[in-house]
């Protein structure tokens, strides 16, 4: 229970994105900024910590990987991702797949260039078990046009590792065409 509380609290920004999952996304996007990290779990050379307050910084012109702190401030991070994409940034968000949350209906469903649902549950670096929640990758950009806005990863991270697959990420299987 303590792990679940930590993983969904605002203290969870200490939980680092699984490196192999990040590497797959980075190969596709070539990230330049990690706006909500610690010095120890950052995924990009240019990054902002809690003390830097990534929400107050300009991300326009950047290719952003955002794994926001889990807790009560998710809506602010999603809103920021949307706003910065309208200013020329590409923002790729790894977030909890809580589609009942208002920010999904206010920003993600109407404005995301693509939504990718992650199969299975991720095991964040530094944690012994998988996350107690499902995840999604949400892409905000005006620079890329996707044929399919809503899709899913064809294999879970653990299944791909078990099968010896190098590529864990997006397999192209579509749920819905738009």
> What does the pLDDT look like over 54-78, one tens digit per residue?
999 999 999 999 999 877 789 999 9
Q: 132: which 2 tokens? A: 């107690």
Domain spanning 2-176: CATH 1.10.3470? no
Mean pLDDT (the chain) is 79
pLDDT score recorded for residue 161: 58
Domain ranges (residues) in the chain: 2-176
Q: 17: which 2 tokens? A: 């994105």
Alpha helices per DSSP H over the chain: 2-7, 19-29, 74-86, 102-103, 109-111, 157-163
Distance in angstroms (rounded) separating the CA atoms of residues 37 and 60: 18
Q: How many Cβ atoms are within 10 Å of 42's Cβ, its own excluded?
A: 18
Q: How many residues does the chain have?
A: 178
**pLDDT, tens digit, 9 for 90 and up, residues 116-145:** 988 876 767 666 666 667 788 999 999 998
**pLDDT, tens digit, 9 for 90 and up, residues 19-53:** 888 888 999 999 999 999 888 888 899 999 989 99
Nearest to 148 by CA among 119, 172, 124: 172
Distance in angstroms (rounded) separating the CA atoms of residues 110 and 154: 24
114 secondary structure, DSSP code: E
What's the pTM?
0.81
pLDDT score recorded for residue 165: 57
Q: Distances from the Cα of 32 to the Cαs of 66, 123, 171, in angstroms? A: 11, 24, 24
């Amino acid at each position: 229970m303590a792990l679940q509380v930590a993983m969904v609290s605002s203290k969870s920004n200490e939980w680092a994105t699984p490196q192999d999952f990040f590497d797959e996304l980075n190969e596709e996007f070539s990230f330049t900024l990690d706006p909500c990290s610690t010095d120890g779990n950052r995924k990009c050379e240019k990054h902002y910590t809690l003390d830097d307050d990534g929400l107050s910084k300009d991300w326009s012109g950047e290719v952003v990987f955002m794994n926001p702190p889990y807790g009560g401030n998710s809506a602010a991070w999603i809103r920021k991702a949307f706003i910065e994409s309208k200013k020329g940034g590409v923002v790729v968000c790894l977030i909890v797949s809580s589609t009942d949350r208002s920010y999904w209906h206010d920003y993600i469903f109407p404005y995301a260039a693509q939504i990718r649902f992650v199969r299975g549950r991720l095991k964040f670096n530094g944690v012994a078990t998988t996350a107690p929640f499902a995840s999604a990758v949400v892409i905000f950009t005006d620079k890329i046009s996707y044929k399919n806005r809503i899709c899913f990863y064809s294999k879970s991270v653990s299944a791909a590792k078990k099968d010896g697959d190098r590529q864990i990420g997006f397999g192209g299987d579509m749920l819905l065409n738009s």
